[in-house]
Chains A and B, each alone.
Chain A
């Protein structure tokens, strides 16, 4: 904010002149960097392939229709596996995430110096590894199959759920906790009466949100052998069976739509 005297008038402008010039300069630099990067990328692109892209896409789409509907009969079981991987993985993650979250939240952790850093480390390490990478490692450790998928989804989700939950715990209304403490309640009772009711909506929201994400993530886990419909997707792509690929993609789309619908319903019921 800049105010300056101009004779009798007091003139107000949003910014000082120097600051305004600095902002223009920053925009100019940004545009220049963009133009330079564009040139670099352009030099390393074979434009013939890019201009060819629409034709290639149409060609691929033509090979994908009509979808080979009878292939669906072989997809029900993998689809069921995919759902199970997502659901069981989410449940496993929640069971571990809840105590981790309470240890990570500043206001409930047993020790800020010793326990909290450990809990935060669990959260960060779980979050920093993508579930596909978790699956890759787990397949080599415990072999291919649904169990590897469940564990991969579970490990990846611990950090996500625990982080959101501990943030919710830190945001609770301390007065309600104080009131329960003042009655002479023990530690566990303060938790059950003062804190848990306050974080229940967040907990339900987080679980259903993560389940929704996990359904989408578990559809690709099969690509690395961790069970589910991704296995069929991988097989169909490598044998160039494009009409099967289209059926699989449609099946995944339908599943995701259903899960979106379910989570929207549940979220609506909680709030």
Chain B
């Protein structure tokens, strides 16, 4: 579905963010990308839809070579990739509905979108999605009136209304509390399953990654150092990704008050595995 071949990104400052990444994500797979800050996680997913121009290497989405597309073709290709952001990146002064519908901009002409005359089909879909993320009563609220979790659900609806084949998710839970983080991750994974979407999820919360992803890729200084299922992710692997640390303590940090019974059991299971 998505294939990266020898992807290299060197920033103008000279920093080498990605050092020749080879990666393949099959259709329908939810993959978590973990790694320390500055490892190149954000750069990697931004190179996929070319919000960041890769220096060299190739990106294939299905049969399309993204890296070879002209500006207009790139717009068409971007419609096939939904993106969800850290801190939501909603247009704060537009309503929830406008934010969701902005996911259809790639399919809508300029004047129709300028006068907010989106096709009824899109509006139906927007209402359906808002209902799916339990925000249908908020459609008319301005985005800046929403709480963090609600905003991220609007972000999810905006990505999904594109009818993408792939979701690029950049730290979806970085500014959310532990409970909301889980809810958002669960929602993203459920939706991927419902729609058979592939997803790359950048996340620095290892526990969440283990709980929700079927495959984990560890990135360290722009190189893949781990690629495998979550249950092989022991303290030794975490040490190669992040460096020396007592990993049971990291897992211990999650606030207990925020967890439900079920989640506490899940955590104990993970901790016993880690030690």
Please give the residue numbers on chain A whose beta carbons come within 8 Å of chain B beta carbons, in ascending order. Answer: 173, 175-176, 178-186, 188-189, 192-194, 197-198, 200-201
Contacts and interface: CB of A to CB of B under 8 A. Distances in A.
A181 B162 CA distance: 13
B94 A175 contact: no
B94 A193 contact: yes
Nearest to B94: A197
A181 B75 CA distance: 8
18 contacts: A173-B92, A176-B90, A176-B91, A179-B89, A179-B90, A179-B155, A180-B102, A184-B77, A184-B78, A184-B105, A184-B107, A186-B105, A186-B106, A188-B114, A189-B110, A193-B102, A198-B91, A200-B93
Contacts of B79: 183-184
A189 B78 contact: no
- Of B110, B155, B168, most buried by chain A (CB within 10 Å of CB) is B110
Interface in B123-175: 155, 158, 162, 168
B92 A198 contact: yes
A197 B143 CA distance: 12
A208 B91 CA distance: 24
Interface residues of B, number: 33
Q: Tell me if A's interface is mostly helix, strand, loop or mixed.
A: helix
B76 A184 contact: yes
B89 A192 contact: no
B104 to A, nearest CB: 8
B91 A185 contact: no
A184 B162 contact: yes
A178 B113 CA distance: 18
- Of A173, A185, A189, A201, most buried by chain B (CB within 10 Å of CB) is A185
B158 A192 contact: no
A185 B93 contact: no
B210 interface: no
B103 interface: yes
B196 interface: no
Nearest to A200: B93
B59 interface: no
B49 interface: yes
Top 4 closest pairs, chain A to chain B, by CB: A184-B106, A185-B105, A184-B78, A179-B89
A183 B78 contact: yes
A200 B106 CA distance: 23
Interface string B89-125: 1111110001000111111101001100000000000
A186 B89 contact: no
Contacts of A175: 85, 87, 89
Given A180-B102, A180-B105, A186 B83 contact: no
B51 interface: yes
Contacts of B93: 197-198, 200-201
Contact of B162 (A178, A183, A186): A183
Contacts of A192: 110, 113-114
Interface in B34-83: 49, 51, 75-79, 81-83
A186 B110 contact: yes
Contacts of B85: 175, 178-179
A180 B108 CA distance: 13
A185 B89 contact: no
B92 A176 contact: yes
A183 B89 contact: no
Contact of A197 (B51, B87, B91, B168): B91
Nearest to B80: A184
Nearest to A176: B91
A203 to B, nearest CB: 12
A178 B89 contact: yes
A53 to B, nearest CB: 54
B110 A188 contact: yes
Contacts of B108: 189
A179 to B, nearest CB: 4
A76 B115 CA distance: 41
Contacts of A188: 110, 114
Contacts of A183: 78-79, 82-83, 102-106, 158, 162
Contacts of B106: 183-186
A46 to B, nearest CB: 60
A159 B51 CA distance: 33
Given A182-B51, A198-B92, A200-B93, 8 more contacts: A176-B92, A181-B51, A183-B105, A184-B79, A184-B162, A193-B94, A197-B92, A198-B93
Contacts of A201: 93
Contacts of B90: 176, 179
Contacts of B77: 184
